[in-house]
């Protein structure tokens, strides 16, 4: 999931450098959405692991 977010971020940066504002905006929006989804899933996984009795390694 994080890989997809980074991929769309790179696409947005390249499109912005070349002047394709529509594609850059769309790719940046998709990258932001995927990054937020990744963060939410990460937090949920950490909470689930802590509830099961396996705290994250230090």
Task: In whole angstroms, give the CA distance from residue 53 to residue 28.
Answer: 38
**For residues 34 and 8, is the Cβ–Cβ distance under 8 A?**
yes
pLDDT at 52 over 80: yes
pLDDT at 55 over 70: no
Q: What is the pLDDT of residues 5-39, one digit of tens each?
A: 778 778 878 877 877 777 777 878 888 888 888 88
What is the mean predicted confidence (pLDDT) over 34-53? 86
Q: What is the DSSP string of 26-42?
A: HHHHHHHHHHHHHHHHH
């Amino acid at each position: 999931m994080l890989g997809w977010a980074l991929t769309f971020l790179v696409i947005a940066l390249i499109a912005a450098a070349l002047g394709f504002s529509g594609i850059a905006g769309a790719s940046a929006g998709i990258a932001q959405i995927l990054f937020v989804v990744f963060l939410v899933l990460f937090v949920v996984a950490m909470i689930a692991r802590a509830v099961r009795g396996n705290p994250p390694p230090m």
